[in-house]
Amino acid sequence: MKLKGIPVSPGVAIGDAFVLKSEVISVPAYRISESKVPQEVKKFFDAILSTKRELRKIQERVAADLGGTYPEIFSAHLLFLDDPMLVEGTVELIEKEKWNAEKSFDTVVKKVLHSFSSIPDEYLRGRALDLKDVARRVLKNLLGKGEESLSDLKRKAIVISYDLSPSQTASLDRDRVLAFATDVGGRSSHTAIMARALAIPAVVGLGDISSKVKSGDLVIVDGNKGVVFVNPASETLKSYTRKKRRMVYLQKVLSQLKDLPAETLDGHRVKLMANIELPKEVENLANYGGEGVGLFRTEFLFLNREVLPSEEEQFEVYHYVASKVYPEPVVIRTLDLGGDKFASPLEIPKEINPFMGWRAIRFCLARRDIFLAQLKAILRAGKKGNVKLMYPMISSINELRQANHFLQEAKEILQKEGKDFSRDIEVGVMIETPSAAIISDFLADEVAFFSVGTNDLIQYAMAADRGNEKIAHLYQPAHPAILRLLKHIIDTGHSMGIPVAMCGEMAGDIHYTQLLLGMGLDQFSMGPVAIPQVKQVIRSVTYKETKELVEKVLKCSTQEEVKKILEKANQPFLKFFRRDGR
Amino acid sequence: MRFEEGMLEKEIRVGNPLGLHARPAAKFVKLSQKLNSEVYLEKEGERVNGKSILEIMMLAAEQGDLVKLIVDGEDEEKGIEILGSFLAGKDET
């Protein structure tokens, strides 16, 4: 059986399924005698205490894994356990009605959930889920079933479930999870972010995989293509096993490159950097040989939570990343919310055409409070680290100037507050709208660097949403129009004396490494796992030959011709990496 | 048990943009739990226990809503001062 979903974290895993079912707890109900009341009350308090201990443990684990405000999700859970309504309410039922503790507690919880449901409020509906989560734990403890969760995971396995709650992922034994596959979710769901941070392959949005798979079934999760095979045919299994073995081997070979420079045979040096979204990811950077962070996405700070992050919280996160990569730089991109990302306290309205809508810098310029807090935090982190600032989605000089105006204001406020900050932080823009590419000479006059966001640039230039199956084929990095745009951006940057980086997916795709190298791209920023392969390509070619390659492809009028030439130039590498099906 | 006359009350407009939701509710409860007094909140005639996060969330008070804060006990003056300014304030942390 083959299931298709959304790939949210790359890599391939083969292994046994571990299906996480949200089993129904049956609550026993019986009356107790007067003399048993104190014992029953004590049993209840013991269960509350054990649940508190569990939650604190989870909280610590999450703090260590993710930092930021993730642990706070559990603070509310803990408060529930102290709530007079729940606690005294339950004790009262035990004492007056002589119900057993389980039945008493369950009755009270149901009553609360009922009153929650009568209030038409999105927020409360979320809290109702939290309450259910906590109540489950208490009931389990009352019934002596111990801690629920993935700690039952005794062997390495692929975790399959409807969805994973933060408390579930937190209780996972990381070393035993080979991959995630879930029924629901998207790129910014909790499971997805977690999987990417831990470099575990994951596919979400698979429909009803959790009911189709049984624990122990053999499963293949392909986090590159977004497919999951359940009890695969022997041919499929063989080919994936081969692929997997090859990947392991390659990783070993390529890891020897980590301390070598990204330099061509004739001595042209470029910089390979990492795109990250969770602070934790910088810890592994050195293993891949990344030279700093070329794109630090800050959206995670604003997603899956209730309250906006404060300046202080943001500062701590930025400072942490900056100090970890120092003296290498970290390029922090200001908030790029909107488009396809939601589920945040910002309540960005849903739009018909979100990619062309109210997002990124457009959103920030309208939300002074949010933008200033972020700029202040970045400026402060810049005092101690090598921090650069980058605005997303710039489409005109006015936007850049407005954003810089806010930056100036942020500096003045910091000055007044007497806080340390970087006075001369480098400011760059992402070039991801065609308009920005076309006026890149004007932009270059007012910024310190460019970073090309190819994912958006290509879809805007081609007017094709790559998430839309019917037209995804129009999304073509090799289209002559895209090549001209890229060449134009890089040439303009250089003629104006500023470096040009790329942080879109194209930068980490070895099919385009020679092309981009030949165009003169200075910095390639990509998912850390792609760095060794790209470095391998760069170290095997001469700058001269890649420049000749560029000359050749720029003369092609169709993407097919371009691809053919690139394919030929890439053949030795493709053979070496044997990347099927792309 | 104290008598009605001993308690303090104050009408306040909720200042927090998030209303008495989420973290503000949690923070309010944490503050009120530190007091040795009874704490109640009232909105539109409905009175809830100020030390219960569940009851406060059910009140669903939004920014700008008028609520009555009632503190009754040995440290009621301190309580009405601290909780009152928290309710009126915009603290988003």
Q: What is the CATH number of the domain that holds B30?
A: 3.30.1340.10
Of the residues A114, A142, A170, the one at which a domain ends: A142
Residue A420 lies in a domain: yes
Residues 6+ apart with CB under 8 A from A200: A9, A11, A13, A177, A178, A179, A180
Residue of A82, A83, A86, A313 for testing the chain B interface, max B β-carbons within 10 Å: A83
Residues A330 and A393 sit within 8 Å (Cβ to Cβ): no
Q: Are residues A225 and A268 both part of a single domain?
A: no
pLDDT of residue A171: 66
Q: Which two tokens stand for residue A43?
A: 């049993």
Nearest to B88 by CA among B36, B3, B13: B13
Residue B2 lies in a domain: no
Query: What is the rounded distance in angstroms from the CA atom of residue A379 to the CA atom of residue A410?
Result: 8
Residues A332 and A296 sit within 8 Å (Cβ to Cβ): yes
Sheet containing strand B8-13, strands side by side: B8-13, B66-73, B37-43, B46-49
Of the residues A142, A162, A195, the one at which a domain ends: A142
Q: Are residues A269 and A320 both part of a single domain?
A: yes
Residues A299 and A360 sit within 8 Å (Cβ to Cβ): no
Of residues B26, B52, B55, nearest to A75 (C-beta): B26
pLDDT of residue A196: 79
Residue A90 main-chain phi, psi, to 5 deg: -70, -45
Residue for token pair 């399924």: A17
Residue B40 lies in a domain: yes
Sheet containing strand A12-20, strands side by side: A2-4, A227-230, A218-222, A12-20, A157-161, A177-182, A202-204, A6-9
Query: What is the rounded distance in angstroms from the CA atom of residue A175 to the CA atom of residue A157?
Result: 10
Q: How many domains does chain A have?
A: 3
Q: Are residues A397 and A373 both part of a single domain?
A: yes
Residues 6+ apart with CB under 8 A from B45: none
- Subunit contact B52:A83, Cβ cutoff 8 A: yes
Contacts with A305 from chain B: Cβ below 8 Å? none
Residue B35 lies in a domain: yes
- Identify the domain containing residue B76 by its residue range: 7-88
Q: Are residues A374 and A500 both part of a single domain?
A: yes
Residues 6+ apart with CB under 8 A from A23: none
Residue A577 lies in a domain: no
Residues of A numbered 141-200 whose beta carbons fall under 8 angstroms of chain B's beta carbons: which are they?
none
Residue A28 lies in a domain: no
- Give strand pairing partners of A19: A160
Residue A333 lies in a domain: yes
Q: Are residues A462 and A536 both part of a single domain?
A: yes
Q: Are residues A104 and A159 both part of a single domain?
A: no
Mean pLDDT of B31-35: 91
Q: Say yes or no to pLDDT of B42 above 80.
A: yes
Q: E strands within A432-556?
A: 449-452, 500-502, 523-526
Q: How many domains does chain B have?
A: 1
Nearest to A271 by CA among A549, A535, A542: A535
State the alpha helices, DSSP H only, in A66-100. Answer: 73-81, 84-92
- Subunit contact B93:A83, Cβ cutoff 8 A: no
State the alpha helices, DSSP H only, in A155-233. Answer: 166-170, 190-198, 209-212
Cis omega (within 30 of 0) on the bond before A327?
yes
Q: Are residues A138 and A193 both part of a single domain?
A: no
Residues A224 and A11 sit within 8 Å (Cβ to Cβ): yes
Q: Are residues A438 and A512 both part of a single domain?
A: yes
Residues 6+ apart with CB under 8 A from A474: A462, A463, A464
Residue of B57, B63, B91 for testing the chain A interface, max A β-carbons within 10 Å: B57
Please give chain A's pLDDT, 582 residues, in tens.
899 998 888 889 999 999 887 666 788 899 999 999 999 999 999 999 999 988 888 777 777 666 555 566 677 788 889 898 899 999 999 999 999 999 999 999 999 888 887 776 666 666 777 788 888 889 988 988 755 455 567 788 999 988 877 667 766 677 789 999 998 877 766 678 778 777 889 999 898 898 899 888 999 999 989 999 999 999 999 999 988 888 888 888 888 888 899 999 999 999 999 999 888 888 888 888 999 999 999 988 887 666 778 899 999 999 999 999 999 999 999 998 864 444 455 555 666 677 788 889 998 998 898 999 999 999 999 998 999 999 999 999 999 999 999 999 999 999 999 999 999 999 999 999 999 999 999 999 999 999 999 989 999 999 987 766 777 788 899 999 999 999 999 999 999 999 999 998 899 999 999 999 999 999 999 988 889 989 999 999 999 999 999 999 999 999 999 999 999 999 988 877 765 433
ipTM associated with this complex: 0.77
Buried b (16+ CB within 10 A) or exposed e, B21-47: bbbbbbbbbebbeebebbbbbbbeeee
- Identify the domain containing residue A410 by its residue range: 264-541
Of residues B23, B54, B57, nearest to A307 (C-beta): B23
Query: What is the rounded distance in angstroms from the CA atom of residue A76 to the CA atom of residue A81?
Result: 9
Residue A84 lies in a domain: yes
Residue for token pair 């080919």: A239
Q: Are residues A173 and A235 both part of a single domain?
A: yes
Residues A165 and A189 sit within 8 Å (Cβ to Cβ): no
Burial of A398 from C-beta contacts in 10 A (0-12 / 13-18 / 19+): exposed
Which helix or strand (DSSP H or E) is residue B41 part of? strand B37-43
Q: Are residues A225 and A270 both part of a single domain?
A: no
- Looking at the whole model, is its pTM more than 0.80? no
Nearest to A443 by CA among A389, A399, A481, A379: A399
